[in-house]
Amino acid sequence: MFALVLHSHLPWLANHGRWPVGEEWLYQSWAATYLPVTDVLHRLAAEGRTRLLTLGVTPVLAAQLDDPHCLTGMHHWLGNWQLRAHEAAGMAEQSYRDLGAREHRLAADARDLFETRWRHGGSAVVRGLIDADAIELLGGPLAHPFQPLLDPRLRAFSLSEGLYDARARWQHTPRGIWGPECAFTPGMESGYAAAGVEHFMVDGPALRGDTSLGRPVWDSDVVAFGRDLQVSYRVWSPKSGYPGHAAYRDFHTYCHDTGLKPARVTGRTVPSHEKAPYDPDLASATVDRHVADFVETVRRRLRSESTRIGRDALVVAAFDTELFGHWWYEGPLFLERLLRALPEAGIEVGTLADARDRGYVGTPVELPDSSWGSGKDWRVWAGEQVQDLVRLNDEVVRTALDTLDKDRATAAPGLPALRNRVHDQMLREALMAVSSDWAFMVSKDTAAGYARDRAHKHAHALREIADAVASGRHDAAARLADGWNRADNLFPALDARRLPNGEPT
């Protein structure tokens, strides 16, 4: 069986800058990936096709796709896209006039799709795919923390709140999750089992490359599915992946007058000003060849792995959803043609839940410390270059938990605990401060200053509230909590009463 898994995630960007890092990142990904990829899935579902792929949507991304500010901003962004395309259509050079006409049509179609299917937010879109049985939905912990480095109490709370968030948005609790960064440390499987999680994703090397079956982890019934790198790297390899082909649209080359992307890759060493104009027909023909190549790669891998293990094997290809459209313009077209071509080639396609239910599960594995980051270890989130963030995260978590525990201890015994909005906001800010995105952006030197600023801003918010609570200034703490809550308007269902009182079992 073949399973395609997509992981959709962006950090919380609303009201935290626009360009070069901030909301523009969200709107680009929304227009280039989330709109067309879900449209592909809805179109295939309308044909009666089911169990197409496994789609992970993190709570922090889901919140942005439902947020009124983001929905308004996205609508404006789509209109601006049309205006930029109109400007290109009026330029003197024929290739730019063609580009403008093409982009204007695309922008108009995207705006129409957004105004109809997305007008009530992303939850309605995803719920429609769940109801049509087109996807299996994977959830995740609230705010996307790097779980192995997180205090066990906050780790358990983040996971349970993430699953609560999924139920609130989609009236559906995921059976599986995509743990942030595919990060794992022994013992997490017990937390997963306690939260009702049945399966999760890891990178192939965590299973020593043997990804042909899901594997129960340690002594639990929780199953880890591994990403098959031989197959996945056919698409997303820095050296030989499909998106780098000369015919595809170049991600890095812009028309600076309009912000549109006019060129094809042409060649890896060709400077931007010498790249050839983008040719949609040439790109489409290349997509066909790459779909055929990928189908044959999956077929060969299924056969070789089935022969090796002496039973029917599983192949899991897994990617960031944003690859398909945002980073690789032709990605949604590739997905649609691939999802048609695989069953036509006689390849059984299903979800991770299907794989588990159909018995694609092997012997237990003693899963080690791992991630899907550089080195397949924790260096991106715990290495020397991010030690300042590691120390900040430890301080933030200690401050939040100590302050909450001391304040809880002052409550009158025997009375039911009431909702405490101050406690809620302290945990929101703590979880936002320890998001794995900030260390990743620093380690990879992609907007490192922005990432550090974000981590420190949420840490500052927590300290302000915690200081007021600790000094007994409860009115001030309430005002601060309300103000910081309005600033992000995030995770309204988070309830600090569900934070475990001691080490979780």
Structure tokens at 391: 């120390």
| CA–CA dist 138, 77 (Å, integer) | 28
* Cβ 220 vs Cβ 197: under 8 Å: no
* Pairing relationship of beta strands 215-216 and 223-227 according to DSSP bridges: antiparallel
Report the alpha-carbon distance of residue 430 to residue 458 in Å, rounded.
7
Return the percent helix, strand and coil in the chain, to nearest 5.
55, 10, 35
DSSP H or E stretch at residue 202: strand 199-203
Residue 320 falls in the annotated catalytic set: yes
Cis amide prior to 20 (ω within 30 degrees): yes
Question: Does residue 53 sit in helix, strand or coil?
Answer: strand
Closest C-alpha to 284, from 258, 304, 264, 261: 264
H helices of 90-228, where?
94-117, 122-131, 152-170, 188-195
**How far is Cα 187 from Cα 192, in angstroms, rounded to an integer?**
9
Q: What is the DSSP letter of 120?
A: T
Which is catalytic among the residues 181, 189, 330, 488? 181
Contact 12, 31 (CB under 8 A): no
Task: Decide: 143 and 158 in contact? Cβ < 8 Å.
Answer: yes
Residue from 66, 320, 348, 467 carrying the catalytic annotation: 320
Q: Is 181 a catalytic residue?
A: yes
Classify residue 397 by burial, with Cβ atoms within 10 Å: 0-12, 13-18, 19+.
buried
**CA distance linking residue 63 with residue 69, whole number of Å:** 11
What three-state secondary structure class fits 57?
strand
Alpha helices in 47-93 (DSSP H): 59-66, 68-89
d(CA 256, CA 472): 55
Burial per residue of 46-77, b for 16 or more beta-carbon CB atoms within 10 angstroms, e otherwise = eeebebbbbbbbbbbbbbbbbbeebbebbbeb
Annotated active-site positions, please? 181, 320
